[in-house]
Structure 1
């Protein structure tokens, strides 16, 4: 990944969290932010507690969630010096937006200045504010703050924000002169110079420090990149706030080509047939529904008969996600006017898509978070939804966000697996979607993917897993060359994963959520060994295996070297093999060698599976009754057991369950204790 690309993956407070307020309750004008007005107006209020309270309310109403005390504290610390500098520089007539949220996207800008450009159009200056006094510069566009937290270099960060306006400006919008500046109001000139010199690719983005903010007015205006920006009138403000941001054709074509070229998204077997069928139905639907959906909820959905809903169901390894991504790629290149978007409730899958397209600035907004489905539905005419079964139900009905999309978007392609529901409040069925489509006059087409393209194409293995969990367990005899085995203890699992990793393969250990998970701070230099499993070998005393769950955030050593990837990239980024994942970080992904620990929450007793929710450490599940927990536990382990493309090794902590698995897996085939590669 290039240094520029790393700015797209910044994991900091500027990523918009789950939306808690419907977009229709956003402030008038459609601009999501904490405050908006002229520099002079806000400068007169910025120190007032009442103003901060109003910003908190508007922040919530914009769908950003509830700002924590640290966020509000940063406003109190950083806004006054910024506005003092703007006023001294004679910039009181510029328009300013605080905590500006990119429409439909996942970014928040500390401040956005808008002025009239000398040659017509508008000048936009993106401002990144930091309270840092010192930091240590690492490689790859990263810095380590004085508190030990490793984060994106602020120049790279603000450059990524600026790129949104460059790549999402639609035809007919005002001409935009795009600029950016970093303001470290507590830092020294030496620190600012070091940061600036560490980002030579962005030498047009100055890093201002405390001394710079005391420069004479004319010089200060130049440093702030606003010396030629003039006052904006009401018509210019309305024109800016009325821009319907949309990705450029070049961006869509580039990202579509990138996705199409990724080996992980290649199509084979019935995937290609399904792709052709969906492609043809999509073209028909988009032709018949040429008009975009209404812009505001309640103003009417698409007319009956003018839209299509396509459901695609398939089991683990059937290629749902690969097909979903290839469809998005196709829509981007062949139907750019449909403003195609890809949405998944799986944060892990979304993170991997962002990682795959990170080399092109502006790609992030093509993959909005699931919490923004309603607002996305007001702009997009083609939406691909993957892992739809993970969407939360409401009042016993399908997710209201999904219903809103079905109401308003002409083309909706929904991928789901009804047996991958892993929480009690989740789930949607093809039958439900069909009934809803019929009731609203939509055409519904249903397809199924029946192949298996994971597990070395071994449908025999996926069928064996289905029988093991939901039917009558049968012996495994090594069909189709898939490598399945059991390990007497977790040490054998770990040895196999380390051996496979050393050989250049991807290998991961996953487990049921049966041990506490301690969230890690970015400044942590070690991971808590939350998982402890005691085993008693045939010879010798008990052995205790200890391991760490995947880290909640990317961690580095004191020297800035990677220690652990962020949880959502645990399955693919280096170092992940040293931590244990769970269903939330493994679902939707795959790796060569899979090692699975079946915890005490699921046990084999009296020729049937029994559930023990009290053994779970998942707060959403542990208080369920056993009969409520059982189907979810079976679904969870079904996910974990079907991640490996070449090998699966299993260890069950319950002795009777482990014995049951041992008797099923033919000891004369590929099973050898302590062997996982």
Structure 2
């Protein structure tokens, strides 16, 4: 389950520079601290300074820093600043935890100085506390604690690409350099991380010994050679840059998103796209940035698009983003979703364009993105946290109020938590109250579940109305599984045949976040299943891995939870609502847990059987609404087939009565295979 963003705290770090030096950073600069190197060097060992940095970090929209984050500041900042001062760089400007737009990334440290030609030069500093790691490839390393993370040189090269591809033409020209500092590593350990490619050959990796080099050599190692103190005017101009993606970046990424065959649009999807683009043409500047006399509308527009599972909302949203990038690049179009899983997949789809990650900011940046984006696409809007507000969530209200074109996709029957639930009517009322044009579009097609409208209607009747026998085998392959062993065997066979096959379950077993890393996934899920001769067998399985499980040779044994649905090894884990919503796969296995049973000819909810802390304390009648919505999502992920198993015997008998039996490959009971044991 994704973490909720922390509430902002008051307080900030004021670091005014003396004399002609720059004042404290502009209000729009998101960072933990800023000022001249010498000023901050005198403060980094002070506990009060760290506390003020933590408060400003939260106020910048980064969330509340954890103990590990603050510990890294205490460990990494002092050696860096000692080196900078000893190198004679005290007059350079520095930003700690500098945030890119939408808080998409945070740079550990960013130095600013004036180059020999007077141009502003930025030095990105990536700080690591590692002492050793195993290099998996040019993009990934395996840390000694078992965590797989981005190669620091690759990481800082991606940061550098942001300044290149997001600098508007009106901004001052920048030279951007980069360096990686491993203050606790030996010279040999640092040398092993250097990458000798064209794109990264100029990015050094420094060890603790390098930080003790003579001052002249240290300046060169820190990539600050030739730099002088920036003027106050230069600092102000830098802090006032309104970062926006270049037309070239938008063109390339937009073309890539549009060109993906999986995003082909048909039927009412295509009609909706054309209608949205027509509204965009009236409210947004065209590619040539020339007004169309008599045709330009004012006041902005809000478009809501609703539809059930598989109606094509996300496919349309992604295609729309691509079109807006290409036709209206100056509007800085962005895509935001409360689903961290969907966001991870979109970023993964454009990973070769490092700077494109900023086009998919996190949901915590919704309000700040509304301040700068001219066009904003929001998917899964019904899942936006209300924050206790009546009516529209405050962040979504800011979008409706400020963004010239907001296209909001939602399904009111996919609300799965009590702090969610935005409706079309709430958005319509807010838009009209603000004098904004509102349009509503409904997607009625079915592009998942083999395009079977009969199946999606059957699921809705099963959960919300009067359950009927399933008679649509000609349109969709639906069956029950007799036990979890058979379900597992079916998933494994489908995977072996080259298909994507995944199992999801209700959140009815603990899914701990903080636990020791082991070579195999912990088997969190245990189901006692009846077998022959009135005995029972225990079926065990692993929930999604919170972080990827990597073998010593770099083989991915289990992807991290957000990529579980599509990456190799995901079929050996069990997904839940938080890692399945918004996604699809060929074959879907669904385990209905003990939180929802068919009892006395109706669905009954048992919140005490839930391990979701946000839901288990609810009254049964309130929990029932969310449980039905959750299983509706899980039952509509399979594009080709679905197999259902209930842990409750009476519910399983009820499902068997509704769904005619179909052959399943018998479980290989002698194999001893269990999920989570590669």
For 1:7, the equivalent position in structure 2 comes to none
Q: CA deviation at 1:671?
A: 5.3
**Partner residue, 2:66:** 68
Contact preservation (8 Å) 1:120, 1:175: no
Q: Secondary structure of the residue that 1:647 maps to in structure 2?
A: strand
TM-score (norm 1): 0.92
Asked if 2 retains the 8 angstrom alpha-carbon contact of 1:488 and 1:674, the reply is no
Give every structure 1 segment of 4 or more consecutive aligned residues whose post-TM-superposition deviation is greater than 6 Å. 22-27
- Counterpart position of 1:4: none
Correspondent of 1:21 among 8, 13, 23: 8
Aligned to 2:338: 345
CA–CA distance in 1 between the matches of 2:56 and 2:531?
61
1:672–1:67: structure 2 CA closer, same or farther, 3 Å change rule?
A: closer
Q: Where does 1:110-129 land on structure 2 (aligned, <5 Å)?
A: 110-129=108-127
Distance 1:265 1:522, change over 3 A: farther
- 2:535 is aligned to 541
Aligned residues: 648
Q: Is the 8 A contact 1:309 1:445 kept in 2?
A: yes
Match of 1:89 among 61, 65, 87: 87
The runs of 5 or more residues in structure 1 that have no matched partner are 1-14, 292-302
SS in 2 for 1:76: helix
Gap change, CA 1:17 and 1:488, over 3 Å in 2:
closer
Task: Choose from 479, 490, 502 the match for 1:485.
Answer: 479
Distance 2:582 2:592 in 1: 19
Confirm or deny: 8 A CA contact 2:41 2:78 kept in the other structure. yes
Q: 1:56, CA displacement in angstroms? A: 2.0
Q: Which residue of 2 aligns with 1:360?
A: 353
Residues 28-48 of structure 1: per-residue CA shift (max 9 Å, x gap): 432111111111111222222
Distance 1:18 1:262, change over 3 A: farther
* Preserved CA contact (<8 Å) 2:463 2:628: yes
Residue number among 390, 406, 409 corresponding to 2:383 in the alignment: 390
SS in 2 for 1:62: helix
- In structure 2, the CA distance between the partners of 1:16 and 1:63, relative to structure 1 (3 Å rule), is farther
| Superposition deviation, residue 184 in structure 1 | 1.1
Please say which of residues 540-549 and 317-326 is displaced more in the overlay.
540-549
The answer to whether the Cα contact below 8 Å between 1:311 and 1:446 also exists between their aligned partners in 2 is yes
Aligned pair in 2 of structure 1 residues 426, 607: CA closer, same or farther (>3 Å)? same
C-alpha separation between the residues in 1 aligned to 2:414 and 2:583?
13
Deviations 1:127-184 (A, max 9, x none): 0111222222222422222223222211111111111111101111111111100111
CA distance in 1 between partners of 2:505 and 2:585 (Å): 15
Matched with 2:262 is 264
Corresponding residue number in structure 2 for 1:244 = 242
User: After superposition, what is the alpha-carbon deviation per residue over 1:559-614, rounded to whole angstroms, capped at 9, x for unaligned?
Assistant: 43212111111111111100000011000000000000011111112221111111
Report 1:591-602 matches (<5 A): 591-602=585-596
2:422 maps to which of 422, 425, 428: 428
Structure 2 unaligned segments of length 5 or more: list them. 14-24, 290-295, 669-678
1:35 to 15, 33, 36: 33
> 5 Å matches for 1:463-474?
463-474=457-468
**Residues 70 and 520 of structure 1: CA distance in aligned 2, closer, same or farther (over 3 Å):** closer
Residue from 521, 525, 532 that aligns with 1:527: 521
State the match for 1:106 in structure 2. 104
CA shift for structure 1 position 67: 1.7
Distance 2:12 2:411 in 1: 33
Give 1:175's match in structure 2, choosing from 173, 176, 182: 173
What SS does structure 2 have at the residue aligned with 1:115?
strand
Distance across 2 between alignment mates of 1:146 and 1:620: 34
SS of the equivalent of 2:390 reads coil
> Is contact 1:550–1:581 with CA below 8 Å preserved after alignment?
yes
- Does the 8 A contact of 1:475 with 1:663 survive in 2? yes
- Tell me the equivalent position of 2:564: 570
